[in-house]
Structures are given as structure tokens and as C-alpha cells.
Structure 1
Amino acid sequence: MELDGNALAGDLAEVFTAEMTSARFTCAGCRHADAVATLRVWNRAPGAVARCPNCGDVILTLVRTPARLVLTLTGTARLDLPL
């Protein structure tokens, strides 16, 4: 089931103090830039996978374990956070 980037809001709030759904990402693959809320999110796996709405590349993955939250931003060329 595909969700939008708003599905990441709670988990990302534990990592960042800024409102992350309004933060802007730039895809490392196609250079598309938009709000995190526009990402296409799949969260049926052990974690969440967020993909670029333009090209489908993986922008970020987020996995919650009992001891930590693991966030990878491999597909993100840039992340602009609101102040």
C-alpha cells in the first residue's frame, strides 16, 4: 500500500526538530526537488521506504528497532529544513 511522505512525520520528528513533511528534498537521481510530504512511501516491510514521486528512486529508508531508529538518506542529494 502506497502512502505519501506524511506517513513519516512521527518517526522523523524523533530525529529532527523541524517539521519534516514541509522540508524539501532533492533527488540524487533525477534532481527533482519537492516537499518530503510528496514522497511515495511503502511501510509494510520492517521499515519505510520513501521514493521520489518523479523517477521512483529510493530517497530514504527508515527502520525502527527496539533500541534505535535507523535513517538512510542515500538517494537524497540535498535536504532543506525549515527554520
Structure 2
Amino acid sequence: MTDLHTDGNGVAGLLEEILAVEVTTMVRKCQSCGDRQPIAAHRAYRGAGVVLRCPSCGDVAVRIGVHAEAVTVEWRGTYAIAQTGSGSP
């Protein structure tokens, strides 16, 4: 492995920094309609899991399944997370 090629362990610190944020303020660009909205503006539907949908077009943004041994999450679209740390990968 090189500086440009590593495994997931090599970016663990960056992933921890990215995922330790106030999620409701993340801005999502919808892959269907192109609208940009914070997660807090998305509509949440509960059932067997949770589905967040774009407030503009209804496209699925996030699917969450809670299981006995884990939580599964599917993210769709592009998300912008405001940087509060060093900002260097």
C-alpha cells in the first residue's frame, strides 16, 4: 500500500471526524431533482425501518434498518458536511 492507496483503516480518523457531526445540518443534494436541503427538512417515514425523502421531489435520501446486532444505513445523493476540524484528509 502507498500514501495514495490504503485500506479503510488508513482513513478511520477522517471517517470518525466526518460522522461525528450534527446530522440534521448536513445538506443533501438530491440525485433526482438537484435540490439542496438540510436533512432536517427531509420527510421521515417510519415502518419496518426509517426512510427519509427529499422534501422537493420525494426521492429516497436515506434508508435505516435497526436490527438486533447492527444498524444498516443506505445514503443516496451527495451530502455536504460543514467542517469544524482541521479540514485536512
Normalising by the smaller structure, the TM-score range is 0.7 to 0.9
Distance in 1 (alpha carbons) for counterparts of 2:81 and 2:71:
19
Higher relative contact order (Cα pairs below 8 Å, separated by 6+ residues): 1
Question: Which residue of 1 is the match for residue 80 of structure 2?
Answer: 80
* Aligned residues: CA RMSD: 1.4
8 Å contact 1:27–1:52 — kept in the other structure? yes
Amino acid at match of 1:42: Y
- How much identity, in percent, do the aligned residues show? 23
Matches within 5 A, 1:12-31: 16-31=19-34
Which of 41, 54, 64 is the aligned partner of 1:38?
41
Which structure carries more strand by proportion? 1
Q: TM-score, normalised by structure 2?
A: 0.69
Are 2:80 and 1:70 aligned? no
Q: TM-score, normalised by structure 1?
A: 0.74
Which of 48, 51, 54 is the aligned partner of 1:52?
54
